[in-house]
Structure 1
Amino acid sequence: MGASAKRAATVRTRINWADYDPGIFYDELISSPDHPRVAARGVISYLRRYSEKKLMARQKAADLAIQEMGISFTVYSEGTNIDRAWPVDIIPRVIPRKEWQRLEQGLVQRLTALNLFIDDVYNEQRIIKDKVFPAEIIHSSKDFLKQCVGIKPRHRVWAHICGSDLVRDKDGTVYVLEDNLRVPSGVSYLLENRAVTKRILPQLFRQHYVLPVDDYPSQLFDMLASLSPRPSDDPEIVVMTPGIYNSAYFEHAYLAQRMGAELVEGSDLVVGDDDCVYMKTIQGLERVDVIYRRVNDDFLDPEAFRANSQLGTPGLFRAWRAGNVGLANAPGAGVADDKVVYTYVPDIIRFYLDQDPIIPNVPSYLCVRDTERDHVLANLENMVVKPANESGGYGMLVGPASTQAERRKFTQLIKKHPRNYMAQPALSLSTAPTLCGGKMEPRHLDLRPFILQGSGHYVTAGGLTRVAMRRGSLVVNSSQGGGSKDTWVVDTEGRR
């Protein structure tokens, strides 16, 4: 074959972006067939050089790098734990910096208001007395801890690390889908996605100005240090894990290593007669100032909560209440993680900050209200029904993908326990080009940025983009077959 014939063959095997059509959905990279969005023009221009075969070779290299780097997560299946390599699609998701700045402001606004709410419901309860928020929602919340009433943690902040899930509808509007305030996970995968993408597509990074995310571990350390009861340049900070069988253990170990903190289990800590927390070391007991705990409230302290817990440390809650140790996130922060509470967040923002929400909620229906419950039950095939306190995509009904039997089951559940359920119309989630079976196809996705609050605020530049790898699926959770992408916040004015 001559040189001209080889060039022609190469052209024919390159991706034809005119054939890539997201249909009615908003695509994060492509505005219409063969027309990339402004912030994504450089990425698409770079990708045009590659055939699908060559891109798949890069994808396989990324998969191999993930295995070599030991990036994994654990799936619980039929009583067994299965470690799986973290799934990453090498085509990045791109967000223009100007749009991101507005979203960043909205995320800081939201977490600030949520922390004011948590502090209020455990103390003065002004929002209840002023009849902005129903008392019965708090009284019936399984995450409202009576043990926390009257406590005022350092900075009056309870949720120090938050992962709020953002979604974009087909008209381009970005919504907050839910807030994760108990033990939010996924930030380690955000950081590793960036490391893998840099390794696999180095030229692409050299040609674009992408906001960095590498400073998160140092920002996390500084935030945790601000919680120390002993002002010091070198506080003793530990990451408390349930152990190696936890699905997020990779992240626990990763963040401890990146911060230079000790990774401990509950049995590695002891509370002394002075109500201070100490870590067992070969040199003896060493006082701990701050605990980044990845153990749920119920299991944190058998003295204060579940008596049969083998994961926590007896007396830990007592030490925190006495102000002798910082805990992030604080016990009881989950009261604002309730998906019923979520529906009130716009009112919460207005009440505490006297501002309108910058990022709107998804329109929602509370099944505890008769008229809204009737509407949900009459339209289950078009609704996403969520339990108030589940996570990871478990226990919910995705109406458009449900069977008649599943809808009958949820009708019974909602009627029996209306307080436990809320519903939202099924959004047409945005898409992005994704390598699937050797082809470039649109797949639905969401975004989980991470927000820190201590003495100040910090927001990751972008977040963890999670992708529903199955065609037509809206379920992005890795435990249910989802994947992920590196998320680029691109300063188009600063492009090299």
Structure 2
Amino acid sequence: MAARFFDEMLDWQDGVAAAIHAGESLPAGAVRGHYKQFADWLARQSEGTMDNKRAEADLIFRRVGITFAVYGEKPPDQIYNNAQYRPEMLGIDVPRDIYAHVAGIDVVRAGEGEFYVLEDNLRVPSGVSYMLENRKMMMRLFPDLFARNRVAPVAHYPDLLLDMLRGVSPQNIADPTVVVLTPGMYNSAYFEHAFLAQQMGVELVEGSDLFVQDDHLYMRTTQGPQRIDVIYRRVDDDFLDPLVFRSDSTLGAAGLLSVYRAGNVTICNAIGTGVADDKSIYPYVPDMIRFYLGEEAILNNVPTYMCRRPDDLQYVLDHMGELVVKETHGAGGYGMLVGPAATRAEIDTFREVVRARPEQYIAQPTLALSTCPTYVESGIAPRHIDLRPFVLSGRDVRMVPGGLTRVALREGSLVVNSSQGGGTKDTWVLER
């Protein structure tokens, strides 16, 4: 019998599968309560209507450009040998002692009330433009749905983001200058950088627009140099300052770290936060919460095997066909093996890779990610999803009631990353 996944809309009681297969009405109680109005609406939509709406959405998204290009106690060595560790940050007092100003937390549901944090994104988390544009698109195409449901708004996210950025300016500057630093138009997420800058009403800058003088950072403008107080950076650490990191980088500003060290600029997120979202750190997060906060984590971690440990390594090598194996520094769905979906040859090849460099891999059981009704070429069908809410940390911690729902569009796939062909959905939080 095929595995039954938790379905966000349907309670798969007796007779549901047969009714769907026969195109008949669902039994009473088959639709979960909070989905009832949506399910009634969906049942009235013709295939032609849905095809037309999808084509219209595709056309608008292409026109505006809202697509990403496809391109406890912690062992000290896992910090010092981490690819994201930045010893240059030693001795720097980070403004207001906040390191991760913007966090994207990937959450999955594996059963009724069974939620897990899949990973933390703390360097330059992306995808919030999808959240905002998906909502605008849904309201444009299906206004009747929003008239029937009290859906909490998300459009104020740029206002919350700007308020947070202004609130973390160094030295309590009353009217700080905030900029968004982008690698440029050839970056896969450039639309998001430009979109957020436009929505916040701040300048979008590149490295060539910036210069350092007397331990302050400036941007060139038609009215002359203007001092910058807060950088919302969408550039990786290695490219921020060619005097300290990669000497060939033109994406940052020479001398930026000296400005940061002097306390004259806030960089969001702080340099070095990549250590905290490295997959080798993930298993220790509940211990860190317990140690620093004296609390238990509200959401569970996925049980994790650390291949650097001999016993864990042996288990992973023996059970690789049952596990999801991930490279600790990997991102975007790369450098991983989903054992149940892999061929014998792929498993054998990956086993040798892990055996050669065990310290660079972790493994986890294959979670039965929940599914959500998704309009695909064959019609409405369940597809696996995860949720990325965005958390803003400044003078306080805030988030909008929503997030980015990512969808594995290929049937049976558990990989939701956009770089691997995944899609996104509008996410509703219903107000009572």
Q: Is the 8 A contact 2:180 2:232 kept in 1?
A: yes
- Structure 1 distance, partners of 2:122, 2:365, is 23
CA deviation string 1:348-406 (max 9, x = no partner): 11001111110000111100001011111111111111111121111111111112222
What amino acid sits opposite 1:224 in the alignment?
Answer: L
SS in 1 for 2:129: helix
Instruction: Give yes or no for the alignment of 1:369 onto 2:305.
Output: no
Q: Is the 8 A contact 1:230 1:289 kept in 2?
A: no
What amino acid sits opposite 2:95 in the alignment?
Answer: R
- Structure 1 distance, partners of 2:75, 2:98, is 22
Instruction: Give yes or no for the alignment of 1:51 onto 2:31.
Output: no
- Structure 2 distance, partners of 1:69, 1:139, is 43
- Give the 5 Å matches for 1:268-287: 268-272=209-213, 274-287=214-227
Corresponding residue of 2:21: none
SS in 2 for 1:166: strand
Percentage of matched positions with identical amino acids:
52
- Structure 1 distance, partners of 2:209, 2:263, is 20
Corresponding residue of 1:347: 287
Instruction: Give yes or no for the alignment of 1:413 onto 2:393.
Output: no
- Structure 1 distance, partners of 2:80, 2:55, is 52
CA RMSD of aligned residues (A): 1.4
Corresponding residue of 2:159: 218
Corresponding residue of 1:31: 11
CA deviation string 1:116-174 (max 9, x = no partner): xxxxxxxxxxx7xxxx2221211221111111112221221111111111111145411
For residues 399 and 172 of structure 1, do their structure 2 counterparts lie closer, same or farther at Cα, with a shift above 3 Å needed?
farther
Tell me the TM-score normalized by structure 2.
0.93
Q: Which moved more, 1:480-489 or 1:150-159?
A: 150-159
- Structure 2 distance, partners of 1:170, 1:207, is 28
- Structure 2 distance, partners of 1:464, 1:231, is 33
CA deviation string 1:309-352 (max 9, x = no partner): 12111011111111001100010111101101011001011001
- Structure 2 distance, partners of 1:373, 1:39, is 43
Shift of 1:57: 2.1
What amino acid sits opposite 2:10 in the alignment?
Answer: I
What amino acid sits opposite 2:176 in the alignment?
Answer: P
SS in 1 for 2:301: coil
What amino acid sits opposite 2:48 in the alignment?
Answer: K
Shift of 1:417: 1.6
SS in 1 for 2:53: helix
Corresponding residue of 2:62: 67
Instruction: Give yes or no for the alignment of 1:205 onto 2:146.
Output: yes
- Aligned with residue 149 of structure 1, among 66, 75, 90: 90
In the alignment of these two chains, the number of paired residues is 416
- Structure 2 distance, partners of 1:231, 1:158, is 17
Shift of 1:23: 6.2
Instruction: Give yes or no for the alignment of 1:41 onto 2:36.
Output: yes
Corresponding residue of 1:251: 192
Corresponding residue of 1:338: 278
Shift of 1:230: 4.7
- Aligned with residue 446 of structure 1, among 379, 383, 386: 386
- Structure 2 distance, partners of 1:210, 1:233, is 35
SS in 2 for 1:36: coil
- Structure 1 distance, partners of 2:240, 2:346, is 35
Shift of 1:271: 0.6
Q: Is the 8 A contact 1:52 1:440 kept in 2?
A: no
Corresponding residue of 1:164: 105
What amino acid sits opposite 1:398 in the alignment?
Answer: V
SS in 2 for 1:74: coil
What amino acid sits opposite 1:138 in the alignment?
Answer: I
- Structure 2 distance, partners of 1:412, 1:470, is 28
Corresponding residue of 1:140: 81
Tell me the TM-score normalized by structure 1.
0.82
Residue ranges of structure 1 left out of the alignment (5+ in a row): 1-21, 77-126
- Aligned with residue 294 of structure 1, among 221, 231, 234: 234
SS in 1 for 2:299: coil
SS in 1 for 2:68: strand
SS in 2 for 1:302: coil
- Give the 5 Å matches for 1:52-131: 52-76=47-71
- Structure 2 distance, partners of 1:151, 1:416, is 37
SS in 1 for 2:281: helix
Corresponding residue of 1:265: 206
CA deviation string 1:261-305 (max 9, x = no partner): 100111110010x10000011111110010001110011111111
SS in 2 for 1:169: strand
- Structure 1 distance, partners of 2:175, 2:363, is 47
CA deviation string 1:169-190 (max 9, x = no partner): 1454110000011111000110
- Structure 2 distance, partners of 1:58, 1:31, is 28
Instruction: Give yes or no for the alignment of 1:482 onto 2:398.
Output: no
- Structure 2 distance, partners of 1:390, 1:278, is 34
Corresponding residue of 1:385: 325
Shift of 1:259: 0.5
Q: Is the 8 A contact 2:66 2:129 kept in 1?
A: no
Instruction: Give yes or no for the alignment of 1:228 onto 2:169.
Output: yes
SS in 2 for 1:443: strand
Q: Is the 8 A contact 1:52 1:438 kept in 2?
A: no
